[in-house]
Amino acid sequence: MNQPVNPADIHKVIIEQQKARNRKKMMVNGVLFLLLLAAPFMMYPVFLMKILCFALFAVAFNLLFGFAGLLSFGHAAFLAAGGYTTGYLLSNFAGLSTELGILAGTATATVLGLAFALLSIRRQGIYFAMVTLALAQLVFFFFVQAEFTGGEDGMHGIPRGHLLGLINLEDNLNMYYFVLAVFIGCYLLVQRIVSSPYGQVLKAIKQNEPRAVSLGYNVDRYKVLAFVISSALAGLAGSMKSVVFQLASLNDAHWHMSGEVILMTLLGGMGTLLGPVIGATFVVNVEYQLSQGPLRDWVDPILGGIFVLTVLAFRSGVVGEIQKLVDRNFK
Amino acid sequence: MTMMKKLLASAVASALMASGAQAAISDNTVKIGYLADMSGTYRDLAGPNGLKAMEMAVADFGGKVNGAKIEIVSADDRNSADVASSTVRRWLENDGVDMVGGLVASSVTLAAVGLLEQNDKLGLVSGAAAASISNESCSPNHIHYVYDTYAFSVGTPTAMVKEGNKRWFILTADYAFGHALEADVTRVVEANGGEVVGSIRHPFPTSDFSSFILQAQASGADVIAMANAGSDTTNAITTAAEFGVTQAGQAIAGLVVFLSDIHALGAEVAQGLQLTTGWYWDMNDETREWSDRFMEKTGTKPTMIHAGVYSSTMQYLKAIEATGSDDAQTVRQHMIKTPINDMFASNGYIREDGRMVHDMYLTRVKTPAESTNEWDLYEIVRTIPGEEAFRPLSESKCRLVKN
Amino acid sequence: MTMIFGVPLAVLSGQLLIGIINGAFYALLSLGLAVIFGLLKIINFAHGAMYMLGALVTVVLFDLMGVNYWVALFLAPLLVGAFGVLIEYFLLRRIAGQDHIYSLLLTFGVALIIQGVLTNIYGVSGLRYAMPDMFKGGINLGFMFLPYYRAWVIVVAMLVCFGTWFIIEKTKLGSYLRAGTEDSQLMQGFGINVPLLVSLTYGFGVMLSALAGVLAAPIYSVTPVMGSNILIVVFAVVVIGGMGSIGGAIITGILMGVVEGLTKTFYPPASSAVIFLVMVMVLMIRPTGLFGKEA
């Protein structure tokens, strides 16, 4: 067993392994992509779109929580800001093409995100979570009272309109492929960000902030940028959701929504790319299935149970645990 | 005017029927969806027991209509327009649901009625209070069955101002619903020669009302009106009792109050409260008989929503039986031309804007001494005729009404 | 009549007093949170649920067994406290040493379960709890009518708050507690059962919350969701005071009650937002809250 090994061989093996892993990853992604393309013919498209919107929301949240280590307890504010802005513009300016409405919603969430970031970024740990929660509560109360949101009644009958003034989004299939395209675009963007040098610095900050500071990084600036990107994507998710469902409501702004996105991310696997997507799919499905069946009165306690189980038994989430399992057995 | 329109409507309906184009029941099944808040704020006034009421209606009808099976599906809207909209969409686009009943929160209902119209199916709204549902937001695809904010704000304030309570203070929940209610009450109070001396908009929801009650006491008003609903109302009434509001000579007017709220408060705290209701279980033999059956199944006396769900489902099934079709327009037209006489309403009728017009009742909550059991809570002071209780068609902004 | 910014002085005095009463509730609730966080570093998102349990247990004990208010005042917090000990023993202990965030998520889940289950049993329109006879009525202070019960709330809350502060900060037991949770190995070496100490501390924090619940039962409508909204407010209070500062939680609780009361008088629409506004501003100036020590 103890034969001398040529270091070059080891290197080669590692590279081979990496290549094999990348091939596998490509294959998995390819299969997923085909599945997503075919999905609306097998399942009800609006439900799929709901999953995609929440998946994007969770992906956005995970960029901040999973990769930069910042637990925001106020992400609902961005989801709602995006949704309300898009809804308001599309309802009140007939002829506005849908993508512009969505862009405007995203922009609003981005600006709001920047404000949140500047006010909160220097707070550490639990204080950070609490400041974001407080700010989100302020936004919530604003939406409750503002006339244009319709308060408790919510904003209804938002027209889906036409994409680029051409493609009719009233059609569920068209709408679905549009949402899918946006989702994949954002997913790839996040993938890109995470593996970029910038993403590496974020991870370094997450692991050991003082060290990152001593290495000369302007930590705050990195964090603010992560926060802004995350809130922009969360706003985009909210904007699309309001177009898909043709409504925006206070639920999106409530602090329970901020809690729910944490659950999705944690359950799927924080700090992994696919994790939030799986978590969101699971949670949206559980909520839907339960609300139909004999257990429909028990949605909240069951969600709570999932929360408890996740924290106790598999903190790394579904994807994280699978990765661990793979690492343990196939290395 | 109204008469003419009704005649016209029935003429259209019979024309439709004569054509026989839709005289069939799709899939040979009548599929009904019950959508309500099963776990949140509105659970007790409609909730799971509303589903029981709907099941009672189907069972009483015999489980079949013209040989077609009657099926009920149900879902929890979680008080969320989101959840409601995805559920209803799926029911209508995917699952072949013909009618959606229940519909309690206004936000949920507004989301549902849009989808119902897009898919040309029928909605029977038994819970939502927003008057806009049969006004600005009316559609040829739903019926507003039990009450609305207009009816609530007519009954109590009119009667109380006439009794000499001229000066009003309004405690308003600070969102669209509260604002609408406040505007309606102000209009009614002023029209009857009263005066609104002050109002406060309190955050929604609020658990501690002591601060607001103190301000209301200081206003020197004769009446403190609660332009809010649910736990806000019960909390405010409890606090008012604690701070001795009624002992000091001020009266309290509840606007949107349900039997389940009063039951929760108890006669001790709620005594003397005046409120308007669309129905009460202890009105006559028919209501008592039905309520006893309901109580056997659920353990509680029915609220007006429970009764409305039963009655509206029954009317719907009768209309299908009569027309032989479950097509939304055919059924709705038949319902419009058929007067409603059952345990819920006498001589009730449905207008073209979807408003079901029936008598409302001004009631006073009994004192503990008058109340013989935990559900013996209301004394009916006055019957408000339907024409007076609901917004007249001449003031309607509904697009189905030509003014 | 003397007016201050258009509000009669009498009304204003009344509002101040009401503010202090509500502040007493906040103080009691945030004290429990501060004890749990300060000594155990657990972020207890189940605190609102425990408050609710205190109120609900009081009502249920009365309905089922006719247990009166005075007995419930002791019994309900004890029962809920025991339940807290179970939660600590079976759940929280398993994540000791992990990031604080996990305790937040775990207790959030626990709160969802408790609230959801009880909603299915008791509904949400509110349970009835009759005011104890001796507290019926009130006294006219000239500027306002003060119900006896509200006066009682202030007295109890102040006594309990001061007692707790005194025990933790000034007595030997308190120093064991603080030492035991800061350096558990050392204390274990001295023969002190630290895990038990931790369980009991959590149970005690929960008891304080449940006591607030019992006090609330006769005046607020008791529903399984009554703790859900107050939780966030109380968290804001604790953060403003400085997480973990016992004295800070008490003082800030009362202060915030007054601030909220005044907002309800001068500009009611902002009254639910004002505490969060204060929190954001305080943290801008003092990152660890008004009375917080460590960074």
What is the reported pLDDT for B58?
Answer: 97
Q: At what angle do helices A255-268 and A125-145 cross, to 10 degrees?
A: 130
Put simply, whether A165 touches C (Cβ < 8 Å) is no
Q: For the segment C182-233, what is each residue's pLDDT rounded down to a tens digit?
A: 777 777 777 778 888 889 999 999 999 999 999 999 988 888 988 988 898 9
Cα–Cα distance for residue pair C19/B390, rounded to 1 Å: 42
Put simply, whether C274 touches B (Cβ < 8 Å) is no
* Cβ <8 Å between B201 and C271: no
What is the reported pLDDT for B21?
Answer: 43
Q: Which chain A residue shows the shortest CA-CA distance from B90?
A: A44
Q: Classify residue A304: in a domain, yes or no.
A: no
Put simply, whether B341 touches A (Cβ < 8 Å) is no
Q: Classify residue B169: in a domain, yes or no.
A: yes
- Residues whose CB is less than 8 angstroms from the CB of residue C219 and which lie 6 or more positions away in sequence, other chains included: B238, B239, B242, C131, C149, C150, C153
Q: Which chain B residue shows the shortest CA-CA distance from C129?
A: B265
Same domain, B95 and B167: no
Q: Which chain B residue shows the shortest CA-CA distance from C18?
A: B211
pLDDT-based confidence at B101, cuts 50/70/90? very high
Same domain, B19 and B140: yes
Q: Classify residue B395: in a domain, yes or no.
A: no
* Number of independent structural domains in chain A: 1
β-bridge mates for residue A122, sequence order: none
Average pLDDT score over chain C? 89
What is the reported pLDDT for B22?
Answer: 46
Q: At what angle do helices C194-216 and C69-90 cross, to 10 degrees?
A: 140
Residue A137 Ramachandran class (φ > 0 left, ψ -120 to 50 alpha, else beta): alpha
- Contact residues on chain B for A46, CB-CB shorter than 8 A: 86, 89-90, 93
Put simply, whether C265 touches B (Cβ < 8 Å) is yes
Same domain, B234 and B381: yes
β-bridge mates for residue A282, sequence order: none
Same domain, B188 and B115: no
Mean pLDDT of A146-173: 85
Q: Classify residue B305: in a domain, yes or no.
A: yes
Q: For the segment A249-277, what is each residue's pLDDT rounded down to a tens digit?
A: 888 999 889 999 999 999 999 889 999 99
Cα B327 to chain center, whole Å?
25
β-bridge mates for residue B101, sequence order: B34, B124
* Cβ <8 Å between B110 and A154: yes
What is the reported pLDDT for B268?
Answer: 85
- Contact residues on chain C for B235, CB-CB shorter than 8 A: 126, 220-221
Would the pLDDT of A278 be above 80? yes
pLDDT-based confidence at C2, cuts 50/70/90? low
pLDDT-based confidence at A299, cuts 50/70/90? confident
Interface with chain C: mutation pick from B76, B204, B210, B257, highest number of C CBs within 10 Å: B210
Report which of residues A314 and A189 the model is more confident about.
A189
- Of C202, C200, C180, C282, the C-alpha closest to C241 is C282
Mean pLDDT of C149-156: 94
Same domain, B52 and B120: yes
* Number of independent structural domains in chain B: 2
Put simply, whether A230 touches C (Cβ < 8 Å) is no
Q: Classify residue B401: in a domain, yes or no.
A: no
Q: Which chain B residue shows the shortest CA-CA distance from C12?
A: B215
Q: Which chain B residue shows the shortest CA-CA distance from A289?
A: B75
Put simply, whether A103 touches C (Cβ < 8 Å) is no
Same domain, B267 and B301: no
**Stated pTM of the model:** 0.85
Cα–Cα distance for residue pair A294/A75, rounded to 1 Å: 32
What is the reported pLDDT for B159?
Answer: 87
Cα–Cα distance for residue pair B51/B54, rounded to 1 Å: 5
**Residue B65 parent element (H or E):** strand B64-65
* Partner-chain residue, chosen from A71, A119, A301, that has the shortest CB–CB distance to C280: A119
Beta-strand pair B356-357/B349-350: antiparallel
Omega before B205 cis (within 30°)? yes
Same domain, B31 and B78: yes
Q: What would the two tokens of residue B379 be?
A: 């004394």
Distances in whole angstroms, Cα of residue C143 to Cα of each of B208, B211, C14: 20, 13, 6
- Residues whose CB is less than 8 angstroms from the CB of residue C201 and which lie 6 or more positions away in sequence, other chains included: C35, C36, C39, C40, C177, C181
Cα–Cα distance for residue pair C40/C201, rounded to 1 Å: 8
- Contact residues on chain B for A87, CB-CB shorter than 8 A: none
- Of C147, C83, C75, the C-alpha closest to C114 is C83
Q: Phi then psi for B363, rounded to 5 degrees?
A: -130, 160
Q: Classify residue A30: in a domain, yes or no.
A: no
Put simply, whether B264 touches C (Cβ < 8 Å) is yes
pLDDT-based confidence at B12, cuts 50/70/90? low
Mean pLDDT of A229-240: 97
| Shortest alpha-carbon distance between residue A302 and chain C (Å) | 7
Put simply, whether C274 touches A (Cβ < 8 Å) is no
Q: Which chain A residue shows the shortest CA-CA distance from C238?
A: A130
Mean pLDDT of B313-318: 96
Chains that touch B (3 or more CB pairs under 8 A): A, C
Would the pLDDT of B351 be above 50? yes
- Of B248, B216, B225, B258, the C-alpha closest to B157 is B225
Lowest average pLDDT, out of B60-69, B107-116, C137-146, C276-285, goes to: C137-146
Q: To 5 degrees, how large is the angle CA B106–CA B109–CA B110?
A: 85
What is the reported pLDDT for A2?
Answer: 56
Put simply, whether A147 touches C (Cβ < 8 Å) is no
Put simply, whether A148 touches B (Cβ < 8 Å) is no
Would the pLDDT of A316 be above 80? yes
Q: Classify residue A31: in a domain, yes or no.
A: no
**First-residue to last-residue Cα distance in chain A:** 17
Alpha helices, DSSP H, located in chain A: 7-42, 45-62, 76-92, 98-120, 125-145, 172-195, 197-207, 209-214, 219-245, 255-268, 275-292, 299-313, 317-329
Mean pLDDT of B294-307: 96
- From chain C residues 13-42, the ones with a CB under 8 A of any chain B CB are 14-15, 18-19, 21-22
Same domain, B171 and B246: yes
Q: Phi then psi for A54, rounded to 5 degrees?
A: -70, -35
Lowest average pLDDT, out of A256-270, B34-48, C253-267, goes to: B34-48
pLDDT-based confidence at C295, cuts 50/70/90? very low
Q: For the segment B128-144, what is each residue's pLDDT rounded down to a tens digit?
A: 888 889 998 899 999 99
- Contact residues on chain B for A252, CB-CB shorter than 8 A: 82
Identity at C81, one-letter amino acid code: G
* Partner-chain residue, chosen from B41, B203, B214, that has the shortest CB–CB distance to C124: B41
Cα–Cα distance for residue pair B211/B215, rounded to 1 Å: 7
Coil/strand/helix, residue B226: strand
Lowest average pLDDT, out of A137-146, A292-301, A319-328, goes to: A292-301
Highest mean pLDDT (candidates A294-303, B79-88, C194-203):
C194-203
pLDDT-based confidence at C240, cuts 50/70/90? very high
Mean pLDDT of A300-321: 89
Provide the ipTM.
0.86
pLDDT-based confidence at B19, cuts 50/70/90? very low
Same domain, B72 and B213: no
- Of A317, A262, A304, the C-alpha closest to C109 is A304
Q: To 5 degrees, how large is the angle CA A78–CA A82–CA A87?
A: 150
Same domain, B253 and B195: yes
Mean pLDDT of B229-237: 86
Strand spans (E) along C11-168: 138-140, 145-147
R_g over Cα of chain C: 19
Put simply, whether B341 touches C (Cβ < 8 Å) is no
Would the pLDDT of B9 be above 70? no
What is the reported pLDDT for B4?
Answer: 53
Q: Which chain C residue shows the shortest CA-CA distance from B258?
A: C125
* CB atoms closer than 10 angstroms to residue C196: 12
- Residues whose CB is less than 8 angstroms from the CB of residue C180 and which lie 6 or more positions away in sequence, other chains included: C187, C192, C194, C197, C198
What is the reported pLDDT for C153?
Answer: 95
Distances in whole angstroms, Cα of residue B325 to Cα of each of A3, A45, A84, B123, B295: 86, 30, 41, 16, 33
* Cβ <8 Å between C15 and B214: yes
Which residue, chain included where needed, has tokens 């669209």?
B176
Residue span of the structural domain in which B140 resides: 2-147+284-358
pLDDT-based confidence at C90, cuts 50/70/90? very high
Coil/strand/helix, residue B126: coil
Same domain, B384 and B245: yes
Report which of residues B93 and B322 the model is more confident about.
B322
Would the pLDDT of C140 be above 90? no
Which residue, chain included where needed, has tokens 């109302």?
B233
Q: What is the dihedral of CA B91, B97, B98, B100, to 10 degrees?
A: -60
Residue span of the structural domain in which A80 resides: 47-253
* Cβ <8 Å between C102 and A123: no
* Cβ <8 Å between B174 and C269: yes
Contact (Cβ atoms closer than 8 angstroms) between residue A133 and residue A75? no
CATH number for the domain harbouring residue B349:
3.40.50.2300
* Cβ <8 Å between B234 and C221: yes
Q: To 5 degrees, how large is the angle CA B6–CA B10–CA B14?
A: 175
Would the pLDDT of B8 be above 70? no
Same domain, B318 and B381: no
Q: Classify residue A57: in a domain, yes or no.
A: yes
Mean pLDDT of B197-209: 86
What is the reported pLDDT for C107?
Answer: 95
pLDDT-based confidence at A1, cuts 50/70/90? very low
Q: Classify residue A200: in a domain, yes or no.
A: yes
Question: Exposed (0-12), middle (13-18) or buried (19+): which is A157, by Cβ within 10 Å?
Answer: middle
- Contact residues on chain B for C9, CB-CB shorter than 8 A: none
Would the pLDDT of B193 be above 90? yes
Question: What number of CA atoms fall less than 13 Å from residue B312's CA on the CB side?
Answer: 34
Mean pLDDT of B270-292: 94
Question: What number of CA atoms fall less than 13 Å from residue B231's CA on the CB side?
Answer: 26
Would the pLDDT of A55 be above 80? yes
* Partner-chain residue, chosen from A125, A141, A315, that has the shortest CB–CB distance to C273: A141
Mean pLDDT of C33-54: 93
What is the reported pLDDT for C141?
Answer: 86
Report which of residues C127 and B284 the model is more confident about.
B284
